[in-house]
Amino acid sequence: MAYFHGNETLRSTPHTPTHHFLLQAGPRLKPLQQVHAHIIVSGSGRSRSLLTKLLNLACAAGSIGYTHRIFLSVTKPDSFLFNSLIKSTSKFHFSIYSLYLYSCMLLCNISPSNYTFTSVIKSCADMSFLKLGKVIHGHVLVNGFGLDVYVQAALVAFYGKSGDLGNARKVFDKMPVRSIVAWNSMISGYEQNGYGKNAITLFKKMREAGIEPDSTTLVSLSSACAQLGALGMGCWVHEYIARHGLNLNVVLGTSLINMYTRCGDVGRAREVFDSMNERNVVAWTAMISGYGMNGFAHQAVELFDEMRRRGPCPNSITFVAALSACAHAGLVKEGRRVFASMREEYHLMPGVEHHVCLVDMLGRAGLLDEAYSFINEEVPKEPAAAIWTAMLGACKMHKNLDLGVQVAEQLLNVEPENPGHYVMLSNIYALAGRMDRVEMVRNIMIKKSLKKQVGYSTIEIDNKTYFFSMGDKSHPETNEIYRYLDELMSRCREAGYAAVPESVLHELEEEEREFALRYHSEKLAIAFGLLKIRHEAPIRIIKNLRMCEDCHWAIKYISVVGNREIIVRDKLRFHHFKDGSCSCQDYW
């Protein structure tokens, strides 16, 4: 009998074992079906080892329907078959079927093992089934596997991916022995849920415990550094990779690119990019995005064009990165070209993110009517809040009160409970001198119990992060910081700086406004950095909100009188201040 017609043909003999054909077939559906037929014809259909192997290969081939049909043909499946198939379905991301098999296993009164639980818990993590995972955690305890290191590691990963860091840490702390997998799961859980500082703190404890990091640890750690702007620790990660001769694979390389660009060091990011032997679409997109967010829009477009010529095909996220770069630099012509190529060359349908970028680009360039028409004529269905937000920001930038009010009404219909929208509308009214309307908006916010998000800035010095808020006096060196900042701003005024009063609440008196502006969080952080960081090193600040116009104006002067490069990462992008100018060219 011949099998696998086509380029390869194998013939059976009375001495050829069936499992040999299974190995030859591998995870390919048609050859597997031929071997399955042979198993039935030869009378080997009751062999559990053959059926288990066939089931696992069918699952690996991606045909869960065929896998299910084979499973239904098995009479009284045993624990080995269940465990093997649960592991395969979990591994190949058939998570729902893995959980279905677990329920079948319980109905058959077959006791689960630690192998069962590690796979089933992984399936719950992949599906973000927090409630079900907690139920299975109960099964773990009832069945006596509460202290099994493999099950515990799976539980830590599950709770971390599900955002339940409290339970993840409880399981982690109870582990008698912590493998590198457990440490990685907990560190990754912190990082993925936005707790970069906790991730770095735990990593330090891991090192104290004598556990050396692997590439998975370093990916999570560099991502945590990117969150915090912790360039010092990020550089340590890069040095560790080089010092230990670790393979700079595409995942690790891309994480370093993201870390460097989000810490404002685009030069080193490009060095990593150029040194990578393999660069997939994610790596190219990370570098393009990094250029764009740091104000190097022309380089972003050039790299995008290079990617189109000799790299992998750009995906929808790549187009967001390229369009965003164009939007933040006023490259309208280039942006139109990039947007048009999505459908014309790559047959990709623009989504909400692409529409936001295009509206933002047109609006920033002052093409408000065209942007508004695009929303009404080209955006399918009801425009998302993010599109109206971009449009409202453009109206504020260009002080177009009438259009801004129309847009604000649309935006508040979509997101009536977002305080940021009311704040922006209030600013538009204030810029137009409509203080009665400012008061009206404020009263609405009070009635709805909506509060403006509190702004803060952070700065990293010697691998320690310092936090500042407006008028903050909690730092032990407050008096010295304020004294130095007053001196700094006095020198800035002598050089030509004048406050931009529109940047603060309009109901304040003029003297109160100047006080509020002087002690904005980013100015305090910069003053502290100038006091503590050696003269040749740049000052790096992270701001959780968009930087106000006054701070942007003031920091340009500070870069001159302080003779220092200052890099600020705000909510939207990076600003590289040097010698009195900013990388954004005052276009942000």
The per-residue pLDDT for range 28-72, each reduced to its tens digit, is 657 666 666 666 666 555 666 777 777 777 777 777 877 787 777
User: Per the domain annotation, does 89 fall within a domain?
Assistant: no
Residue 208: in which H helix or E strand, if any?
helix 196-208
| 443 and 426 in a common domain | yes
Q: Please, which residues have CB within 8 angstroms of residue 277's CB and are 6 or more apart in sequence?
A: 248
Q: Extract the tokens encoding 309.
A: 């010529």
**Three-state DSSP class for 576?**
strand
Decide if 60 is inside a domain: no
524 found inside a domain: yes
**Residue 573 included in any domain:** yes
| pLDDT tens profile 90-101 | 988 899 999 999
If pLDDT is split at 50, 70 and 90, which confidence band does 148 have?
very high
Range 407-415 average pLDDT:
87
How far does Cα 377 stand from its chain's mean position? 32
Flag whether 523 is in a domain: yes
506 and 445, same structural domain? no
pLDDT digits 0-9 by tens, 553-577: 999 999 999 999 999 999 888 999 9
The answer to whether residues 468 and 554 belong to one domain is yes
Higher pLDDT, 23 or 131: 131
Task: Please check whether residue 559 lies inside any domain of the structure.
Answer: yes
Return d(Cα 434, Cα 440) in angstroms, integer.
10
Amino acid 63: pLDDT = 74
- 570 in the same domain as 548: yes
What does the angle CA 389 – CA 394 – CA 398 come to, to the nearest 5 degrees? 150
Question: Is residue 474 located within the same domain as residue 565?
Answer: yes
Claim to verify: residue 525 and residue 479 sit in the same structural domain: yes
Residues 545 and 529 grouped into a single domain: yes
What's residue 39's pLDDT? 67
Amino acid at the residue 555: I
Kindly tell me if the per-residue pLDDT of 144 is higher than 60: yes
pLDDT score, position 35: 66
Separation between Cα atoms, residue 315 and residue 319, nearest integer Å: 7
Split at pLDDT 50, 70, 90, the class of 500 is confident
d(CA 144, CA 197): 35
Query: How long a stretch of residues is the chain?
Result: 588
Indicate if 507 and 533 belong to the same structural domain.
yes
Cα separation of 479 and 475, whole Å?
9
Total domain count, the chain: 2
| Boundary-marking domain end, from 395, 424, 452 | 452
In DSSP notation, 157-198 reads HHHHHTT-HHHHHHHHHH-SS--HHHHHHHHHHHHHTT-HHH
pLDDT score for 399:
85
Our measurement of the distance from residue 450's CA atom to the centroid of its chain's CA atoms, rounded to an integer in Å, reads 27
Query: Can you tell me the mean pLDDT for 387-398?
Result: 90
- Top pLDDT among 44 and 163 is at 163
Return the HEC string of 21-46: HHHHHCCCHHHHHHHHHHHHHCCCCC
Instruction: Tell me the C-alpha to C-alpha distance, in Å, between residue 496 and each of 229, 491, 499, 575.
Output: 31, 9, 10, 21
In terms of pLDDT, which residue wins out, 70 or 156?
156
Confidence of residue 320 (pLDDT cuts 50, 70, 90): very high
* Percent of the chain whose predicted confidence (pLDDT) is above 70: 89
pLDDT greater than 50 at residue 494: yes
Q: What is the pLDDT of residue 9?
A: 44
Instruction: Give the mean model confidence (pLDDT) for residues 399-403.
Output: 88
Beta bridge partners of 540: 567
pLDDT over 60 (residue 510): no
pLDDT band at 488 (very low <50, low <70, confident <90, very high): very high
User: What is the mean predicted confidence (pLDDT) over 346-366?
Assistant: 95
**Structure confidence at residue 502 (pLDDT):** 58
- Do 448 and 487 share a structural domain? no
Instruction: Write down the mean pLDDT value for the chain.
Output: 87
End of a domain among 433, 452, 471? 452
Secondary structure class of 434 (helix, strand, coil): coil
Residues with Cβ < 8 Å from 25, sequence gap 6 or more? 3, 4, 31, 32, 34, 35, 57
Rounded Cα distance between 39 and 302, Å, is 58
Residue 509 reports pLDDT greater than 50:
no
Residue 45's pLDDT is: 56
Residue 504 pLDDT > 70, yes or no?
no
Looking at the fold, whether 434 and 499 belong to one and the same domain comes out as no
> What pLDDT does 4 receive?
47
User: Is 341 within the bounds of a domain?
Assistant: no
Segments forming the whole domain that contains residue 432: 374-452
Q: Do 531 and 556 belong together in one domain?
A: yes
Q: Once rounded to an integer, what is the mean pLDDT over residues 193-208? A: 95
Q: Which two tokens stand for residue 355?
A: 């529409």
The reply to whether 570 and 471 lie within a common domain is: yes
**Residue 152 corresponds to which tokens in the numbers above?**
């515990």
Among 38-47, 373-382, 492-501, whose mean pLDDT is lowest? 38-47
With respect to residue 178, please indicate whether it lies within any of the assigned structural domains. no
Q: 452, 467, 500: which is the final residue of a domain? A: 452
How far the first Cα of the chain sits from its last, in Å, is: 72
